[in-house]
């Protein structure tokens, strides 16, 4: 068994449901300390939702050398019904060349590969010029209020320079190395409450139906082109996720309609511009309404440059694949790191089974993933 596979299995054996780290960072920290890293725990959050965060850095010989950060999370989503799994989700299990377990793809394999890649790199290059660091959290799959964002705030306060960051999100689609994420769309969610007047359906002149009034506005919102996107991002999208109105009986006009909707937006739009356009449209339709917003994350983008080229070269050398750059998918902690680091990309194993029953990774891809991370270190900071 390779050192990387052994570490993956050790991490998979820990039921680290958000925000419980289940000892993953202690295990990782022990290894990184032995490799010469300086460790700092930056745990955060209330006692009933305590988040584990680790910042670790191995300084290079040059104060001006580049700083490359590996970022990731040790927490996993709930398993769902245990009876639906083919094997215990917290007992690493091999079947037909695949390694099964919750977090195998998202993202304990990447974290293990990053750790072993760093160990091998500093052993082979003890006098490396640049610095290598880790930013790991147990609150990425949850509310993400006390994880990476807290560490980034502390790093900004102390003036820690970050030049490159690789987030170990599972980005590969069909085979390892076919896709790198060099950005992510922003997420903006809203709850719209359209006010009406409840009444009897037989006396509509004595009531005001918020569904009737709001329908035209919702149709226009759905038909609106918010932007055209750009060479890196698809156009911004608007989607309704929930609609609720009525009392559950057939003879009552509802007094209000509640609509949840979400924008996934490109760098061509801003949260403020989207809010203003929605408000103007609702006002145009003469609605009486309340509107509350939650900004889940702003978009970030790393144009083609030193980091993406080094990572692409490492992928090509290790796998023979030429990766494409993409900004598709949901949000990640890259949105926080991008505020203090100019070049942030994501790369990891196939994402076909993330959050699913019987989540797994291909065993044969684990060592190449580790080698890609190590090759990137060798290119950028040796």
Which residues are part of a known binding site for Zn(2+)?
A: 73, 106, 141, 169, 355
For CA atoms 156, 162, 168, 174, the dihedral sign is: positive
**140 in catalytic set:** yes
C-alpha triplet 153, 158, 164: angle, nearest 5°: 70
Give the number of residues written for the chain. Answer: 382
Beta partners for residue 41, in sequence order: 54
CA-closest candidate to residue 90, choices 10, 6, 209: 10
Rounded alpha-carbon distances, angstroms, from residue 53 to 73, 86, 145, 152: 9, 32, 12, 11
Pairing mode, strands 186-195 and 256-265: antiparallel
**Which of the residues 139, 140, 333, 346 is marked catalytic?**
140
Beta partners for residue 191, in sequence order: 260, 292
**75 in catalytic set:** yes
Which residue has 């007094």 as its token pair? Answer: 255
**Which of the residues 75, 139, 333, 362 is marked catalytic?**
75
d(CA 368, CA 316): 11
d(CA 253, CA 136): 52
Which residue has 């950005």 as its token pair? Answer: 183
Which parts are annotated binding residues? 73, 106, 141, 169, 355
Residues tagged active-site:
75, 140
């Amino acid at each position: 068994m390779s050192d990387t596979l052994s570490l993956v299995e050790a991490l998979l054996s820990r039921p680290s449901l958000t925000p419980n780290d289940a000892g993953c960072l202690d295990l990782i920290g022990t290894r990184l300390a032995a490799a010469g890293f300086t460790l700092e725990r930056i745990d955060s959050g209330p006692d009933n939702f305590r988040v584990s965060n680790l910042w670790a850095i191995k300084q290079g010989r040059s104060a001006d050398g580049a700083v490359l950060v590996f970022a990731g999370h040790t927490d996993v989503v709930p398993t769902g019904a245990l009876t639906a799994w083919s094997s215990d989700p917290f007992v690493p299990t091999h079947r037909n060349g695949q390694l099964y377990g919750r977090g195998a793809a998202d993202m304990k394999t990447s974290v293990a590969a990053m750790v072993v890649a760093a160990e091998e790199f500093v052993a082979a290059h003890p006098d490396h010029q640049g610095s290598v660091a880790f930013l790991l959290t147990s609150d990425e799959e949850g509310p993400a209020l006390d994880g990476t964002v807290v560490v980034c705030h502390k790093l900004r306060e102390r003036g820690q320079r970050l030049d490159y960051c690789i987030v170990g999100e599972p980005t590969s689609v069909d085979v390892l190395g076919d896709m790198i994420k060099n950005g992510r769309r922003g997420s903006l969610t809203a709850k719209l409450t359209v006010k009406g007047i409840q009444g009897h359906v037989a006396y509509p002149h004595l009531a005001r139906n918020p569904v009737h009034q709001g329908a035209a506005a919702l149709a226009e919102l759905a038909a609106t082109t918010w932007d055209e996107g750009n060479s890196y991002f698809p156009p911004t999208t608007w989607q309704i996720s929930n609609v609720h109105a009525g009392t559950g009986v057939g003879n009552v006009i509802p007094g209000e309609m509640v609509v949840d909707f979400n924008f996934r937006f490109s760098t061509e739009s801003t949260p403020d511009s989207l809010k203003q356009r929605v408000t103007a449209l609702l006002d145009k339709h003469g609605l009486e309404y309340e509107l509350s917003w939650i900004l889940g994350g702003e978009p970030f983008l790393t144009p083609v440059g030193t980091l993406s080229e080094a990572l692409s070269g490492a992928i090509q050398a290790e796998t023979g694949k030429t990766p494409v750059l993409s900004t598709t998918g949901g949000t990640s902690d890259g949105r926080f790191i991008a505020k203090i680091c100019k070049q942030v990309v994501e790369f990891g194993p196939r994402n076909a089974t993330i959050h699913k029953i019987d989540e797994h990774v291909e065993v044969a891809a684990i060592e190449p993933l580790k080698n890609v991370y190590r090759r990137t270190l060798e290119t950028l900071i040796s």
